Chain A
Amino acid sequence: MAESAVKTKAAPAPGVGRRDFRFLVLKWFRELTLVPVIVVLMIAGAVVNPVFFTPSNLINVAEGGAALGMVVVAESLILLTGKFDISLQGTFGLAPLLGAWLVAPKASEGLGTELSPWLGLLVVFLVGLVVGTFNGVLVIKANFNAFIFTLAMSILLTGLQLGWLGGQTVYNLPEAFIYLGAESWFGVPVAVWVTIATFAVASWFLRYHRIGRAMYAIGGNLEAARAAGISVDRIRIGVFMVASVLAAIGGLMQAGRVTAVTAGQGSNLIFSVFAAAVIGGIALEGGRGRMIGALTGVILLSLVTNILTLSNVSSTWIDAVDGAIILIALGLAKLIGTERA
């Protein structure tokens, strides 16, 4: 029999105000899949070590998550438009290293010019912008495969970071340069405020701005977006640029937190970034996912790292446990994801 999916009767009509309650619950369910997991982890943390619930430890968790969070926002934006960028971790390391090198004293591996720290910050920003533009133009316009191109780019950036100072660490950085990562407002690190604000702005932009919606359309059906008159290439390149700048700012937070830039800053970060985004519901195939979900992914990963440290798990085992927990969270997200309406 013909499936009468299109009902002919006009009434009762679905009221505009009437949003199916079940539908709403399921919609939020997907975004907040990880909340119960986070609650369980917090209980586990409290059991493992009483230090867990002290304000200083929780702030520590947030501070650790802030830098990661910036890169997760960055990667999520690109993932939504149906591409991805592995080299964000290279930008995360190289941009602050170049900035710091420019403004740090000679004695602490800097250039010794003692230029204004603002110039250093400008360099951090510019490195992000240049790398993002380069990636965007070549992946989108020249149609290079995003995986292999940004992987090569990542290796190049990380190599530059290592080679520039022969593997040395830049330290003794000027105050303005480390402000973002080292200072606090109302007892909470500035980096945490900035990351929360970034999540909020990105979330609002994706929901209410025309370009934000266009990003979902591009990731969801590129041809349809193009036919609807969306400038798909311009938006996708722009997203690459914004993302790299965000990653550079994340690197700056990390530098401020440890008041130095090591030659290894950012290495292997991208795995945590992808893990946080994906378990937070950002679809790898594009067009689906929300910032609130990505945020829960960041919180989850930060908590796991903290609890593992507090529970005196041997440092050689931390990676294995970390990986196992990510796999479990992925399985959970999949389970909920497929049960969606």
Chain B
Amino acid sequence: MQRFSSTGPATSPAPVGEAENVSKTFGETRALVDVSLAVNAGECHALVGRNGAGKSTLVSLFTGLQRPDAGAIRLAGQSAPGLADRGAWLARVACVYQKSMVVPPLTVAENVFLNRPVGDRRSLVDWKRMRAEAHELMLDWGFDIDVDQEASTLTVEQRQIVEIARALSIGARFLILDEPTAALEKAAVDRLFERVRRLREGGVGVLYISHHLEEIYEICQRVTVLRDGELVLTGNVGDIGLAQLIAAMVGSAPPRRATEIEAARTAVLGETSLEIKGLNVASRSGSVYDVDLTVRAGECVGLVGLRGSGSSTVGDAVAGLLKPRGGSIVARGVVGYVPQDRHQRGFAPQLGVDENLTHTVLGRISGRFGVVSTRRRTEVATREVQRLQIVARTLDQPVSSLSGGNQQKVVVGRALAAEPAVLVAINPTVGVDVASKEALLDGIARVRDRGVAVLLISDDFEDLRVCTRLLVMVRGRITASFDRPPWDRQQLISAVEGLEVAV
């Protein structure tokens, strides 16, 4: 562990929020290991780390949604209230969460003052005053949002603003912003920063979580890096260079992959199979602006971006699940689709492996009058089971009883069963064991070599070794491209995090 000496001028006796040697374990996963972190009054403290590093767990400890297994949380020098006492937590910590905490049927004003009395009477709602105060808050921010508007009609950005306005107006001395800028435009980000500066000058301590490292240099004084649940680096922002920060986030990979991600051999490319021009899509999970890309037969294009960058939105649009607002998508042939969330969109858990594998080809395996031929179903299912090395006792074993890795193989197999010309896979190896990962990536590499155009959308660098070309998305736009493997880890991370680094 590296530590940098200075902790800045000791302005206030007690930090507004402090974690002391906290640990938290979920089942087998050690989410946090002996982490200590203090946020002082008047400072903005950045918390960074890759997905799964333990940032969200730390936030849940600081907001009282979970209790540490070991160690202690202190707020303004006092030990933390009990988990059941939500009121006490809310008065001390305000948090803008990653997932939307807006109540769609209520108005903007009500959402800002959710469960908080405005005016003198505690149990009755003073509508006039609430609207006036909400309106004032919005004016203060310079946002033109009608406070009488129903929150369901707001855009993603506006919802975010409502949540930030709510958190700030509570008046807690400790504010946690968990990726607040993921869905904001540049101008809105600037306003947010201005506001954070003002709060800081007023003595509020801010814990700022972001994937956009350049923001940290803009508004934070100290930074702490988590990796695999452990604190690996902490110190003043001025003392820590970008390269050092990225190195701390990434850590030392196995020697062979220290700087380069193993490269795929470049196959002979065929015709263009997927052509996207000027694609614009509005989506809650990240809008997409003016994206152009083509994938040729035998090519595997990796589309890399953080959550909310719009990369998965591109995949959903190609699969026809999202309607573009503008632009065109032309696919020559069948599009196979591996959705981001296998539990939600990937399979029917109670049905067998064979049925799930053949859902995409029901037309082909059924005869006249739509009667499904079990013989043909078995043929197709057997082929996919072999191709992806799916481990199941029998072909009709319910998918729900398989391991996560094998479930994911079924999802990929289902997409491949249709013999697609284009395969869109979003995070195809997320949450699976190493052996399954190998099998899945091998399967994808083999269909690529057989002339399928693959669009692989992933933020897992291991996945990218089957790619022949990479495109990086930041805030809804393609911002960098890597045309020939091997890829340089550092450069790639810099590009993905939205930093201006020559590539």
Contacts and interface: CB of A to CB of B under 8 A. Distances in A.
B interface, by DSSP: helix, strand, loop or mixed? Answer: loop
Interface string B80-122: 0000001101100001010111111110001000111100001
Given A14-B135, A14-B146, A287-B103, A224 B124 contact: no
A216 B106 contact: yes
Contacts of B25: none
Contact of A225 (B87, B103, B124, B148): B103
Nearest to B150: A341
Nearest to B282: A3
B156 to A, nearest CB: 8
Contacts of B122: 210
B99 A223 contact: yes
Nearest to B143: A6
Interface in B141-174: 142-150, 153, 155, 157-158, 161
A221 B101 contact: yes
B132 A16 contact: yes
A224 B157 contact: no
B139 interface: yes
Contacts of A224: 100-103, 114
B103 A3 contact: no
B142 to A, nearest CB: 5
A340 B102 CA distance: 20
Contact of B290 (A1, A210, A214): A1
A8 B117 CA distance: 29
A6 B157 contact: yes
Nearest to B144: A7
A5 B325 CA distance: 15
B164 to A, nearest CB: 12
B105 A216 contact: yes
Interface string B229-261: 000000000000000000000000000000000
Contact of A1 (B86, B139, B146, B289): B289
B344 interface: no
Instruction: Kindly name the residue among B97, B142, B153, B188 whose own CB sees the greatest number of chain A CB atoms within 10 A.
Output: B142
Interface in A317-334: none
B125 interface: yes
A139 B480 CA distance: 52
B119 to A, nearest CB: 11
A19 B150 CA distance: 13
Interface in A263-305: 283, 287-288
B123 A216 contact: no
A227 B97 contact: yes
Nearest to A7: B144
Interface residues of A, number: 41
B144 A10 contact: yes
Given A3-B282, A208-B125, A217 B114 contact: yes
B115 A229 contact: yes
B185 A4 contact: yes
Contacts of B342: none
Nearest to A8: B187
A220 interface: yes
A311 B308 CA distance: 62
A287 B105 contact: yes
A231 B85 CA distance: 10
B280 interface: yes
B87 A16 contact: no
A6 B124 contact: no
Contacts of A4: 185
B131 interface: yes
Nearest to B90: A229
A228 B114 contact: yes
B105 A225 contact: no
A40 B65 CA distance: 54
Contacts of A10: 139, 142, 144
Interface in B123-137: 123-125, 127, 131-132, 135
A220 B104 contact: yes
A217 B124 CA distance: 15
A107 interface: no
A2 interface: yes
A339 interface: no
Contact of A220 (B95, B103, B147, B188): B103
Interface in B464-484: 476
Contacts of B157: 5-6
Contacts of A1: 280, 289-290
B407 interface: no
B299 to A, nearest CB: 29
A13 interface: yes
27 contacts: A1-B290, A3-B282, A3-B287, A4-B185, A5-B157, A6-B145, A6-B158, A6-B161, A6-B185, A7-B144, A9-B144, A16-B135, A208-B125, A209-B124, A210-B122, A213-B106, A213-B115, A221-B103, A224-B100, A225-B103, A229-B87, A231-B86, A283-B105, A287-B104, A287-B106, A341-B150, A341-B153
Shortest beta-carbon contacts, A-B, top 5: A220-B103, A5-B155, A229-B86, A224-B101, A228-B115
